[in-house]
Structure 1
Amino acid sequence: MRVLLVNAVSYYVKQKAAVPLGLLSLATVLKQNGHTVEVFDRAVCSGSAARRISRFKPDMVGISSLGIKSFPDGMKVSKAAKSRGIPVVWGGHIPSLIPDLVLGSGLVDYVAVGDGEPVLTALLDALAGKTSLRGIAGLAWLDNGAVTVNPPAEPRSLAEYPVIDFGFVRPQDYFVRNPPCRRMLHVYSSRGCTGRCAYCYSPAHCSGRWRPRPVGCVIAELKNLKDNFGIDGFYFVDDLFAPGAARVREVCAALAASGLDLLWSCDMRTDLCDEALLREMYAAGCRWIFFGVESGSPERQQSVGKHLDIPAIEEVLRLCRSIGIWTTASFVIGFPGEDERELKQTLAFVDKLSADVKLAALYGPMPGSEMTEQLVASGRLERPAGWRGWRDLAVIDTLGEGFSKVPSRELKVIANYFFLSIFLAKKESAGRRASRVWVKRVAAIGADIARRGGWRNILLLLLSVWEFTQIVWYALMFPGIRKKYGLRFFAKNQA
């Protein structure tokens, strides 16, 4: 069969579009099973969905929508396919958590819950008359107009999935400039997370299960990307790079033995790091680590299920700086019940951190999260009856509405102050001077969007300019709020 796989665009740019790794894995599996596959990433490709569908003439259209912000574009593509009588299947983290709402749109026939590779392979067999829809684990579908959700599939070992074929896209379209690297790309080494954070979708999506890929597959992909596309660095985009030191050391040893000589980045928990491990990571090429520290309140650390030790966070970030690893510390403000005292406690804690980048986001409800269910049970949140309701709830953003006791305007000023500070600061990155790294990075993103042309990319550029204007407005136009919380531009250690 002919399958068109579409990555829906979010019309939201704060960083360059990431490689649609899930779609590429799915495309690789389908190709190995004899299907003809094309990938249409609307985040980097111009042209209308209707024209692409008419040209390719697919037997099925699959749409990946990783976040709720991309739902409107995904529905537009679905409508174009349905108008031509082509069945539509959706997949991704959020569609997996609200398949009934996706199917209730009237524009989607099927939803793959969990890993898409086995579900879509079986679905194509069913549409070819080889099997029954009812026997496909992890499939949600419409049975005579009624939503039917089959029993979930047991998560497979990632060793069953092949090395990704990057030939379905142009890897150059996704290169990220991060000094000293100019051609960094996204890869993944695992799926899932062992964490039970109350604000996150992950516990509902993967039930606390973390699955590693064989390190050999990861190295094979990196070698292909370096030999054929010239990458000089990469990002591990895993939700959690590793749950323990043994896996970190396994990856580091493989990278060192490969001779690829690439710099890299990952997401880690501070409680998994010690000096010896960080030095091993540095020796293997690690130059950037993203840490989600979330809060400076010990009580909040426990209530949201993060369980990080506050003094230990400070020590790990200090160690990273001394070793030469560039760090980002992200935290969340606007948690339900958060008051001014707690917020000031978190901001004082963040001010002490030696992180190179400090990133704040406003809490927003996520489908399936424990905290969302608590808000619904307490009557503070009415559960959205459709996907548009979820779209209207800003999730982990800088411009949303919080559920805390602190006024939303104050939360927006704080979040956007930290975001704008990233652009204004001059920092050292990986041993080289990186004057306003993020300014250059965003300018490159804007130039890339403008170069692609087309009304959709022009709209994306205009929306991005409007959002950045709002960021500047909140960050600069309320000096009284900044003073209240001790926020000063160009303060020591602020990036």
Structure 2
Amino acid sequence: MTAQTEKNNIILFNPMPVKHPVAIQNKKTTSLQVPLINVPLSLLALARMVRDDFNVKIFNAVVDSDYKDLILSGCENALCLAVSSMTCYQIRDGINVCAAVKERCPELPVIWGGYHPSTEPVQTLENPNIDIVIRGQGELTFKEVVESLRDKKSLKGIPGVSHKDGNRIINNPDREFKDLNIFPPIPYDMVDVEKHIKGYKFGNRCIDYYISQGCAARCDFCSEPLFCGRHWSGLLPGTVVSELEHLAKTYNIDTFMIRDSDFFLNIRRVKELCELLVKKDMGIRFTSVNGRMEHLARIDDKTWALIRKAGVHEIFIGFESGYQDALDAMNKGARVSHIKNCIDKCIKHDIDVRGSFMVGIPGVDVKKEVKSTLNEIHKIICAYGERRRLAHMDILLSFFTPYPRTKLYYTALKNGLKPLNTLEDWGDFDQFDFKAPWFPEEYFNLVREFRAGMPWNSAYEFEEWCEFYEGIQEKLERI
């Protein structure tokens, strides 16, 4: 009986997203890196499906300093190890841990899921330390896989699964994307919530939460359309309010960082949710609420005011470029003019903006791209700086990173990128400082200098920034 119970143990692992965590004292924004402290929502989404029948242990590299040893110990009597990974250092860290696990427990099934394995299942399974890949939305697939492992049944025919069968790799049919409302709530009680609470801008106790899954956009640089098939599903507004109230009271949360890929896709639903939040008056705030600029540009002032009244204090917008040719190459579906429209709306309604830009899109004029994008960022800084409100904005500036099987990955190959033929190759990507072969060194260095000088990275006052930017312009013209 004991042995059977022990084999019901499932180990879930969220690897480290960056190689060297950077601690910046008193820094409330994340311009040079993703937030390291995050709730492993993807793992909790799986755990909720099996917690009644299995003993699930979750390890998150960003909060569990001794995670490798803990995983090795936990795997000795486990049914399986499951790893979630994006295209970044998570791959390298995940491989390292799985290799150590396989050395100690060679027969233990190792499952990978998440954005990268979903887009490169065969290449992922070519790694000797990985046995099964769960593609796309994984809740139901994971449940069926672990039940099959427990019952010693074949994985044949389980939708959304790729797996090894001797020397062959089998790709089962895709699984249909499901309505998010059929799943149980995210079980925050399965992790140590205190370890995952962070301070961020508007509050001292901020935690991650998502209201929707998927994205209907078709951006050619992004893995999301491949991962979800351009499907999208949102929780019912009443469910959202109920869950937020529970989390706020249970864990004393004052701020929620919203992790949706596109919060504003269904504006009618957004209005209904915001009206419920206003009526409930819980006093909670929302940050990093993701919106597409072409959607936000169409929202009327009355709705903007409602969104702010409901507690939205910050919106995250993927501006991506200040150069229209680059936006078109990305298939972004937006105009450069939408940037100013969104900034004006955010300023008018006292909503902070957190935006992202990138340079290095293959196949476009490099100098025009860099000049236009840096100038567009400068315009945003001026819009806030002239009002003495620099603390109410933040810009992430990175270099284009080609993700597997996206259209721009194939464009990158045509422009000199060497094919990435193994899972390990992808694990060495730096999504902030990827150096593309078509992007000249002098532009690369200038962009890094510009990024380091942005006020939230350099502590420049607005006047100092303007002087610094003049110098950047002069250097750019000399290239």
Question: Quick check: TM above 0.5?
Answer: yes
Alpha-carbon distance between aligned partners in 2 of 1:349 and 1:51, rounded to the nearest angstrom? 47
2:73 equivalent in structure 1: 54
User: 1:132 Cα shift?
Assistant: 3.0
1:490 equivalent in structure 2: none
User: 1:185 Cα shift?
Assistant: 0.9
Q: 1:59-458 residue pairs with structure 2 within 5 A?
A: 59-82=79-102, 83-84=104-105, 85-129=107-151, 131-265=153-287, 266-273=289-296, 274=299, 275-337=301-363, 338-353=365-380, 354=383, 356-376=393-413, 378=414, 380-395=416-431, 397=432, 399-404=433-438, 406-415=439-448, 417-421=450-454, 422-425=456-459
1:484 equivalent in structure 2: 475
2:57 equivalent in structure 1: 38
Alpha-carbon distance between aligned partners in 1 of 2:152 and 2:245, rounded to the nearest angstrom? 38
Alpha-carbon distance between aligned partners in 2 of 1:386 and 1:210, rounded to the nearest angstrom? 30
Query: SS of the residue aligned with 1:74?
Result: helix
User: 1:109 Cα shift?
Assistant: 0.9
User: 1:389 Cα shift?
Assistant: 1.8
1:16 aligns with 2:36: yes
Given the superposition, is the C-alpha separation of residues 160 and 267 from structure 1 closer, same or farther in structure 2, using an over 3 Å criterion?
A: same
Alpha-carbon distance between aligned partners in 2 of 1:427 and 1:242, rounded to the nearest angstrom? 33
User: 1:289 Cα shift?
Assistant: 0.6
Alpha-carbon distance between aligned partners in 1 of 2:338 and 2:95, rounded to the nearest angstrom? 45
Native 8 Å contact 1:240 1:268 kept in 2: yes
User: 1:180 Cα shift?
Assistant: 2.9
> Residue type matched to 2:444 in 1?
L
What is the root-mean-square deviation in Å for CA atoms of aligned residues? 2.4
User: 1:107 Cα shift?
Assistant: 0.2
Given the superposition, is the C-alpha separation of residues 253 and 361 from structure 1 closer, same or farther in structure 2, using an over 3 Å criterion?
A: same
Give the TM-score of the pair, scaled to structure 2: 0.84
Map Cα deviations across residues 143-178 of structure 1 (whole Å, 9 max, x no partner): 002111111101111111111111111222222222
Structure 1 unaligned regions, length at least 5: 429-475, 487-495
Given the superposition, is the C-alpha separation of residues 216 and 244 from structure 1 closer, same or farther in structure 2, using an over 3 Å criterion?
A: closer
1:458 equivalent in structure 2: none
Native 8 Å contact 2:319 2:339 kept in 1: yes
Alpha-carbon distance between aligned partners in 2 of 1:20 and 1:302, rounded to the nearest angstrom? 34
2:27 equivalent in structure 1: none
Alpha-carbon distance between aligned partners in 1 of 2:268 and 2:20, rounded to the nearest angstrom? 37
Alpha-carbon distance between aligned partners in 1 of 2:424 and 2:74, rounded to the nearest angstrom? 30
Query: SS of the residue aligned with 1:359?
Result: strand
> Residue type matched to 1:90 in 2?
W
Given the superposition, is the C-alpha separation of residues 204 and 12 from structure 1 closer, same or farther in structure 2, using an over 3 Å criterion?
A: farther
Native 8 Å contact 1:78 1:107 kept in 2: yes
The runs of 4+ residues in structure 1 deviating greater than 6 Å are none
User: 1:322 Cα shift?
Assistant: 2.1
User: 1:95 Cα shift?
Assistant: 1.2
Native 8 Å contact 1:5 1:23 kept in 2: yes
Query: SS of the residue aligned with 1:331?
Result: strand
User: 1:374 Cα shift?
Assistant: 2.4
Native 8 Å contact 2:319 2:357 kept in 1: yes
2:14 equivalent in structure 1: 7
User: 1:204 Cα shift?
Assistant: 1.6
Native 8 Å contact 1:334 1:403 kept in 2: no
Alpha-carbon distance between aligned partners in 1 of 2:319 and 2:74, rounded to the nearest angstrom? 48
> Residue type matched to 1:72 in 2?
R
User: 1:114 Cα shift?
Assistant: 1.0
Given the superposition, is the C-alpha separation of residues 172 and 151 from structure 1 closer, same or farther in structure 2, using an over 3 Å criterion?
A: same
> Residue type matched to 2:369 in 1?
E
Native 8 Å contact 2:238 2:273 kept in 1: no
Alpha-carbon distance between aligned partners in 2 of 1:81 and 1:218, rounded to the nearest angstrom? 38
Query: SS of the residue aligned with 2:100?
Result: helix
Alpha-carbon distance between aligned partners in 2 of 1:400 and 1:225, rounded to the nearest angstrom? 38
Given the superposition, is the C-alpha separation of residues 479 and 385 from structure 1 closer, same or farther in structure 2, using an over 3 Å criterion?
A: farther
> Residue type matched to 1:279 in 2?
A
Given the superposition, is the C-alpha separation of residues 416 and 192 from structure 1 closer, same or farther in structure 2, using an over 3 Å criterion?
A: farther
User: 1:91 Cα shift?
Assistant: 0.9
Alpha-carbon distance between aligned partners in 1 of 2:194 and 2:70, rounded to the nearest angstrom? 24
Alpha-carbon distance between aligned partners in 2 of 1:55 and 1:167, rounded to the nearest angstrom? 19
> Residue type matched to 1:392 in 2?
D
Query: SS of the residue aligned with 1:135?
Result: coil
Native 8 Å contact 1:163 1:218 kept in 2: no
Alpha-carbon distance between aligned partners in 1 of 2:155 and 2:377, rounded to the nearest angstrom? 51
Native 8 Å contact 2:417 2:436 kept in 1: no
Alpha-carbon distance between aligned partners in 2 of 1:480 and 1:425, rounded to the nearest angstrom? 17
1:450 equivalent in structure 2: none
Native 8 Å contact 1:320 1:327 kept in 2: yes
Count residues in correspondence: 433
Query: SS of the residue aligned with 1:330?
Result: strand
Native 8 Å contact 1:333 1:411 kept in 2: no
Structure 2 unaligned regions, length at least 5: 1-7, 22-32, 385-392, 463-467
Given the superposition, is the C-alpha separation of residues 76 and 392 from structure 1 closer, same or farther in structure 2, using an over 3 Å criterion?
A: closer
